[in-house]
């Protein structure tokens, strides 16, 4: 965790939150605006920004954005699984392959490669997880910030 994470900007938007896709530029995605009806809070930290959407039922999705506007990480927490295909975008296929390649495994899914990290865990009513693309991480930012 970086120290001295100064809050440079805090936006509180009541409606129409936009959320983005891992590995894609942050932009408003109108298709997704109906997905999470909650509060959007954007916090700039040293070397990156976090866009956090909180919905009343406890779903929290965070997007970690590099200074050049790329989403290098996402995390989630909530009563149900998020829409992973939309959240992970082109990386979802790798996660899906990993989740089906472990015949003995019953429990969380953790995919750790040099190109992609996806962790999906928790239990009914309390799921959580994170994903990030190491190659997209700003050089000054630790992977541990994605949580």
| Residues found near other proteins in the complex (CB under 8 A) | 35-37, 55-59, 77-85, 92, 95-96, 98-112, 119-130, 147
Q: Which is nearer to other proteins, 64 or 127 (CB)?
A: 127
Any long-range contacts for 120-127 (C-beta under 8 Å, 24+ apart)? 120/81, 120/84, 120/95, 122/77, 125/79, 126/77, 126/79, 127/76, 127/77, 127/78, 127/79, 127/80, 127/81, 127/82
**Residue 64: CB minimum distance to other proteins, A:** 15
CB closer to other proteins out of 70 and 117: 117
Q: How far apart are CA 20 and CA 24, in angstroms?
A: 7
Min CB(138)–other proteins separation in Å: 19
Query: Rounded to the nearest whole angstrom, what is the least distance from the CB of residue 88 to other proteins in the complex?
Result: 8
Residue closer to other proteins by CB (options 24, 83) is 83
């Amino acid at each position: 965790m970086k120290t001295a994470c100064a809050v440079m900007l805090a936006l509180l938007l009541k409606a129409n939150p936009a959320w983005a896709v891992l590995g894609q530029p942050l932009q408003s995605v109108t298709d997704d605006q109906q997905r999470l009806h909650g509060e959007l809070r954007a916090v700039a930290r040293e070397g990156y920004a976090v866009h956090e959407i909180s919905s009343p039922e406890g779903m929290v999705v965070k997007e970690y954005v590099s200074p050049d506007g790329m989403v290098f990480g996402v995390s989630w927490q909530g009563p149900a699984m998020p829409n992973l295909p939309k959240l992970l975008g082109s990386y979802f296929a790798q996660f899906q392959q990993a989740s089906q390649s472990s015949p003995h495994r019953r429990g969380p899914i953790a995919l750790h490669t040099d190109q992609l990290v996806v962790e999906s865990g928790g239990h009914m009513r309390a799921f959580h997880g994170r994903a990030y693309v190491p190659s997209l991480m700003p050089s000054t930012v630790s992977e541990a910030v994605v949580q």
